[in-house]
């Protein structure tokens, strides 16, 4: 993989990563978890600059009321919002989301999908989202690229999502373009699965 024409050889501050599991420091508060990342990326800033920056992202994910709580005192959705805020506060070029919502209940997942789209609208960051949910991909993505896993992981055919934004999760179910694209992707995935089964 290349970033700005250069090979990616390891972790760096220009890539923010949100995992499927929350990956928060349990002994730190919401503010402390985000501040640790900000202090590492912006060590020359004053303590006040760092705190102001942290507070901006806590507010962005609507957690100002919980800034002094530790992860054990938060719901799963709140913890994942902390992880998203921490990644964004590092001001990365690219935000990598590795199935960040898959462990959440449907209601929380829907709310966080809306928040991720809202943050994307504000920040205009490049976001790479890994998901097993076709509807989630259609709701959030501009491009969908299925990943084949056998005999080795490769990128498959690209689908462009030209649905207007903001996307209404209820309204899209009555949108003919949405339904057509969803059917096309689902059929493609079924065919890929059948090919793998016959090859195996």
119: pLDDT strictly greater than 80: no
Answer yes or no: is pLDDT of 197 > 80: no
Where are the domain boundaries for CATH 3.40.50.300 in the chain?
15-130
Question: Who contacts 71 (Cβ-Cβ below 8 Å, separation ≥6)?
Answer: 22, 24, 25, 26, 33, 79, 82
**How does pLDDT run across 174-195, given as a tens digit for each residue?**
889 999 999 999 999 888 876 6
Find the mean pLDDT for residues 155-159: 90
- What pTM does this model have? 0.79
Q: What's the rounded mean pLDDT across residues 99-110? A: 79
**Domain 15-130 of CATH type 3.30.70.20:** no
């Amino acid at each position: 993989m290349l970033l700005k024409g250069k090979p990616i050889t390891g972790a760096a501050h220009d890539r923010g990563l949100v995992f499927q599991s929350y990956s928060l420091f349990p002994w730190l508060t919401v503010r402390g978890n985000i501040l640790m990342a900000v202090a590492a990326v912006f060590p020359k800033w004053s303590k006040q600059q760092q705190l102001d920056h942290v507070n901006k992202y806590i507010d962005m994910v609507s957690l100002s009321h919980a800034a002094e709580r530790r992860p054990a005192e938060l719901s799963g959705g709140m913890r994942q919002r902390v992880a998203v805020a921490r990644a964004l506060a590092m001001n990365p070029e690219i935000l990598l989301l590795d199935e960040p919502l898959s462990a959440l209940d449907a209601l929380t997942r829907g709310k966080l999908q809306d928040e991720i789209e809202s943050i994307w609208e504000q920040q205009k960051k490049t976001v790479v989202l890994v998901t097993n949910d076709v509807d989630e991909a259609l709701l959030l993505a501009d491009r969908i690229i299925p990943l084949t896993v056998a005999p080795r992981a490769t990128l498959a055919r690209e689908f462009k999502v030209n649905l207007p934004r903001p996307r209404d999760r209820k309204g899209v179910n009555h949108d003919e373009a949405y339904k057509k694209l969803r059917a096309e992707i689902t059929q493609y995935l079924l065919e890929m699965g059948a090919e793998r089964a016959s090859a195996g």
